[in-house]
Amino acid sequence: MFHARTTGGLATRLVAPLPAAVLLVAVVLSGCGAGTTLPAGSYTPSANAVPKFSHIFEIVMENRGYSDIIGDTADAPYLNQLASSYALLTQDYAITHPSLPNYLALLGGDTFGVTSDCTDCFVQGSNLVDSLEAGNKSWRAYMESMPSPCFVGDSGQYYQKHDPFIYFDDVRTNATRCQNVVPMDSLASDLTGGATPDFVWITPNICDDMHDCSTATGDTWLHQWVPQILASSAWKQNGALFITWDEGNDNNGCCQYASGGQVATLVISPLVRAGARASTPYDHYSLLRTICAAWGLTPPNHANDPASAPITGIYTSA
């Protein structure tokens, strides 16, 4: 069994009309905390600031490069409508290949020496859960087709390699924390029942995330779930939804650490400019830093490096 240790962060069809609110897209950062509704006109961030989002949602899709999504209006009509109506990162890159190290990077700010889709390579290292709880932020990870909370291993269309929470020792072996890694069955009722945590991570199953099934299948899945998120009071209270992909189709990269290919990242929020485009190079560590920056949390590992700039320049006033 590989058990990574860290030292200094390294390892030893039809599209329904969209809401009028502006979306910032990242389907798949420096601090986090409990959000409140901001009165109209009370907050006017500069172009270089990250707003204090009330809630943050993150959806991670699978194995599509930027050009596989953006411009493919036949197979991804809903995603392209979101991208045209809200905000899109046009130079965003995954960290590496294959899937698992990218998921670890998105949650932990490092790949922790993992280079495969191993199922027993558990990690002792800091991660976003540590930052969220230090900032008194609630969180939950929803895993489609997961058989039971805190399940370890593969089962049917649930693949552990797409669930980074289970890999971190301080989540998996902590009974309280691990009960927040749950099947997706409860997401709809949590969204409508006022039980949405501050930070929500969503992993579709191996088909709906586009890994084993078509781009059109994933686009249809997003068309089912994204409107439910945007209809929730959590999102309407100046929340944000980030949609990104784990990795692209080549080894292109940027930003010192990334070489996992260009991916489409959308950020959907009432606090972004409609149709905004960010051409600054970003990577998965930048997304993690942005989440933390919104709530004043300390970003874990490489997400706290100078090379990992937060996503800026796309926001407007509340």
- For every one of its 318 residues, what pLDDT tens digit does the chain have, with 9 covering 90 and above? 434 433 333 333 333 444 433 333 333 433 333 333 333 333 334 445 899 999 999 999 999 999 999 999 999 999 999 999 999 999 999 999 999 999 999 999 999 999 999 999 999 999 999 999 999 999 999 999 999 999 999 999 999 999 999 999 999 999 999 999 999 999 999 999 999 999 999 999 999 999 999 999 999 999 999 999 999 999 999 999 999 999 999 999 999 999 999 999 999 999 999 999 999 999 999 999 999 999 999 999 999 999 999 999 999 864
Show Cβ contacts of residue 251 under 8 Å, excluding neighbours closer than 6 positions.
97, 259, 260, 261
Cα 196–202–205 angle (5° rounding)? 140
> What's the pLDDT at 31?
35
Q: Which domains does the chain carry? A: 19-304 (3.40.720)
Q: Which helix (H) or strand (E) holds 60?
A: strand 56-61
The letter for the amino acid at 260 is G
Residue 221 near residue 210, CB atoms below 8 Å: no
> What's the pLDDT at 317?
60
> What's the pLDDT at 19?
41
Residue 149 near residue 209, CB atoms below 8 Å: no
The letter for the amino acid at 21 is A
Predicted structure pTM score: 0.86
> What's the pLDDT at 205?
98
Please tell me what DSSP assigns to residue 4: E
Take residue 316 and report the two structure tokens written for it. 């407007």
Residue 246 near residue 100, CB atoms below 8 Å: no
Residue 281 near residue 101, CB atoms below 8 Å: no
> What's the pLDDT at 189?
97
CA 93 to chain centre: 13
Omega cis (within 30) before 164: no
> What's the pLDDT at 41?
32
Strands 4-7 and 123-124: parallel
